[in-house]
Structure formats: structure tokens, C-alpha cells
Structure 1
């Protein structure tokens, strides 16, 4: 069955709009980001070209009290989540859209360990699928600790799948970001990365959300990733989410001087903000 592709979104088109987080929330999230770090992402909508839908099943064979489970968001911690066992492996490009809150399990037919909401930073929840087993999909989670994963029932009306041809690679040592589409390079830039004391965390992550900046002026858009600083618990009161964002002083590009975020030139940010939410990011 061919999955629908997630197209590039042009300004003013598409069903999914970039999230614009309220200034009060952004004030908490971004106050400390002027030092170089923040949280955010932007993503285009699904085309309505699904082939035969998967048979709808009951989401939970056994009733789960989700009120007792930790929330799998950038603000949450999921201590019982299995760790990513292949943190540098590319995926098949399949992403999962969570349309309603669903439970997350430690294994197919296993124990519920978290609840995954339908939005992240007011953007729709799109997460990369790293493995599939029957009607179950293993996804990367945006919660702490870094590399958290979990299993979601994929054959239900609460979720849907799509395909994105993009992969973003961040080479921390070379201080370079490369965007590929169908394995063909479509953009490459020298960037700023985390300083020696606040390194950009390596591993497999993804574009989590998109926030239009309204509080500070160092970047018009901030693209939070599904990973966090491993040395700082917060950026200015926020959850310490690592992000792609711009920077007004080009001298930072090619340096290791941020609090863990990846500072990118304006043309890089322009391309990155057009990529689908859930797009895989490999930090090496």
C-alpha cells in the first residue's frame, strides 16, 4: 500500500498551519534562548490521497487509565520508555500522525508507559516510525530522556501514516547541516553548534514543531527538535529543548558556542521550516 507523501507547504496553502504560540508561553520558552538555544519546527500537510485505509481496530484491548501516565512531550519525562537501539540509522521515511491522544507501550501488547497527545507546541504530532510489527509502530518520542521510544497501535482511527522523502544530517564536529531529499543533497550549510560544556546531543531525533517568534528577534522561526540538552535542565525556564534557529551575527557559524541548539543561516532556516513535521534528523 503506497503511503501519502507530505508535500512542501507554500505560504498560505495547506490545511496545517504553523503554530503560533501565545506570547506568555514563548516568554518562558524563549527567554533564555538568546544565549543560543530554543525549541521548534514547521511542517506541511498530508495530501488526501490515501489508498485503502487499514482496518480500524480497538485502540486498547485492555482499558488504560491514561490519566496515570506521563505525557510524552518535550516537557515530559518517560522513564520506562525503551531506548533507541540504533541512534544513527536512517528510517524508511514513514511518519505517524497522532490525531487523538493515544497510549504508548513498551512493546507490542506490552505495558502502557506514557500518553501521546495530538499536539506538540500547538503543532500537530508527527513522529518518525523506526520499526513496525503487524499493527504496531515503534516511534521516536519527544520526551526525556533523549532517545526515548515507544510502541503505538497503528491500525486505528486515532493515527495515520504518511511518507516524507527528507532527512536532515547535523555533523557536530564539522559544524555542518545537510538536507537530503530521496538521498539527493538539496542544501548544505556551515552552522553553529553547542559549546564544549553544552554540546549538541547526538543521536536520532526529528523536527517536532514550528514556532513563529514574537518575543525576541534573534530568529523569526524556531524549530524545536525531539531532543534536549544533556547538561542543562532548562533554557530560561523552558524544558531545555534543542532546536534549529537563526542568528543575527554570522560570526557564530562554524563555531561551537551555543547552549546546545543548532544556529543556522537564514537560507538554511528557510528550507528547514518548509520540511514536514516528523522529518528525521540525524545528529552525528
Structure 2
């Protein structure tokens, strides 16, 4: 199994996923969105074909690609939504099959890229040569098993905790608090979903945007199937009006102050985000 140190992983996350072209980085703010659905569908079709050719596995095109735009029926639910890990994250260098259990039924294909940058997902359980990872797809808390063979690996010391009751975000490094901020969360009709998820991508925005950087998570609104043309992806992002912090006013995303966004933008992809009520 190939290994990658944390510094290289962190730098790769910012340079490869943070400065993607504007067309691939359409994540509409004011709520939650995603990049172009038509482009994603086109990429997913190609990835499924590549996965089938690479693995020699029949039926590869019959399962969805595990992205923020898709639903993965049969994906097992995250068994420990509050569980911490040792920070292991993995990157498939080519599309890989996702199974419902070690050596079980194939339910999806995990692509090598998400939203124009590399796919990094957290490992939450290990069984022999298999790795259980969190998926960026619906339903929320979806997970799946992938083979550990041929994956690039890294360890991130970071974790993010969002306390919905206190409307507070805490950034941890090696289990020690390195930052704490009041944030805005989803309103009563569009609540921020709880559970264990992860930082899926880092997207650069135009200077005129309410947030210069957006951090999409591997979770979705529970009440909105779409928002602003996107798939209802929940994200961490900035907001220019400080009066919103400490309030429940968003469409599900978590709005953070500028200094919090600066700190979060340096957190490696795949790092866990715990959202608790």
C-alpha cells in the first residue's frame, strides 16, 4: 500500500482541489450546492467504464459512482457516527469498487476525483485487507468497503466538531483544540444534518463571492433534494455579515468567520467532521 505523509497530503489538497476552474467549482452559496450535474454525469459514465476495464468486473456500469451527486442504494450506514479514528485517509489512484461488506456485493464505484480534485476519504474500520470508508453520496452516513490494495494513504491530525446546540465550531489537531468560533447553522426547516462526515473538497470562488473558499462535506441536506441547481451538498464556508454567527439561519450549510475559514482551508481532505446536536 502506497503511503503519503501528512504534509504532502495537505499541500496536495489545497493545490489540486483548491484552485479548480470556475466551471467545475460551482457551489452555490446562501445554502448548499455542487458543480455542474451534467459534467458530473459525464465524468461518472467514463469512470464506471474505466473501473470495469481495470478490474475486469462485470456489472461495473450498473452501479452508481459514489459522488456528491448520487445516491448509493445498499450502502451500509456508518456504524459509529460519533467514533474517532487514528486519522487514516485514503486516495484511490483509479476508480475502485465499493462493496457492502468485505468481499461482498458491489454497490458503487469510488472515483479518483471529486469536484475537480483528488478523492480522499476517511477510513473508519479495517478488516484484513479491506477498508471501510465514508462515502460522499446520499443517503447521509453512507459507507462502504474498498480493497486496501493500491491506495495512497495519509494520516491527518485534524478533526472538526460542529455543536449545533451551541452553534459553535471547534478545530482540533492531535485531539487538542486549536480554534473555536461561533457559527451559523441550518434553520428549523432546513437543519444542518448531524453525524460523522468529512471534508470532501476545497473550492476557490470569485472575489465577489460571499466566501472565497468553500469546503463541501460528504453530507447533504435532509430536507432539500436540490439547492440552486446543486444536489443539496452541505458545506463549510465564510459569510461577510458577522451578525449571522450564533444563529440558525442557513439552508443547512455552516457559515464561519473569516479566521475560521482560513484555518479550515489548511485542513487536509478526508479529515473527519463531527456534527452533533
Q: Same fold (TM over 0.5)?
A: yes
Question: Quick one: which of 44, 63, 70 aligns to 1:76?
Answer: 70
Q: Distance in 2 between matches of 1:268 and 1:39?
A: 22
Runs of 4+ in 1 over 4 A off after TM superposition: 1-4, 8-11, 13-16
1:246–1:269 Cα change, 3 Å = same
Q: Distance in 1 between matches of 2:9 and 2:270?
A: 14
The structural deviation recorded for 1:24 is 3.7
Q: What is residue 41 of structure 2 aligned with on the other side?
A: none
Partner SS for 1:152: strand
Partner SS for 2:6: coil
RMSD: 2.4
Q: Distance in 2 between matches of 1:10 and 1:120?
A: 16
Q: Distance in 2 between matches of 1:249 and 1:73?
A: 31
Q: Compare relative contact order (CA 8 Å, sep 6+) and give the higher one, 1 or 2.
A: 1
Q: Which has the higher helix share?
A: 2
Q: What is residue 205 of structure 2 aligned with on the other side?
A: 213
Kept in 2: contact 1:38–1:261 (CA 8 A): no
Q: What is residue 199 of structure 1 aligned with on the other side?
A: 191
Q: What is residue 42 of structure 2 aligned with on the other side?
A: none
Unaligned runs of 5+ in 2: 36-53
Q: What is residue 92 of structure 1 aligned with on the other side?
A: 86
1:14–1:125 Cα change, 3 Å = closer
Kept in 2: contact 1:8–1:274 (CA 8 A): no
Question: Between Structure 1 and Structure 2, how many residues are aligned?
Answer: 258
Q: What is residue 50 of structure 2 aligned with on the other side?
A: none
Q: Distance in 2 between matches of 1:2 and 1:8?
A: 13
Kept in 1: contact 2:114–2:201 (CA 8 A): yes
Kept in 1: contact 2:72–2:139 (CA 8 A): yes
Query: Are positions 1:248 and 2:248 aligned together?
Result: no
Query: Are positions 1:165 and 2:157 aligned together?
Result: yes
The structural deviation recorded for 1:21 is 4.0
Q: What is residue 6 of structure 2 aligned with on the other side?
A: 6
Partner SS for 1:109: coil
Q: TM-score, normalised by structure 2?
A: 0.86
Partner SS for 1:17: helix
Kept in 1: contact 2:34–2:229 (CA 8 A): no
Q: What is residue 226 of structure 2 aligned with on the other side?
A: 234
Kept in 2: contact 1:207–1:278 (CA 8 A): yes
Unaligned runs of 5+ in 1: 41-58
1:3–1:184 Cα change, 3 Å = farther
Q: What is residue 51 of structure 1 aligned with on the other side?
A: none
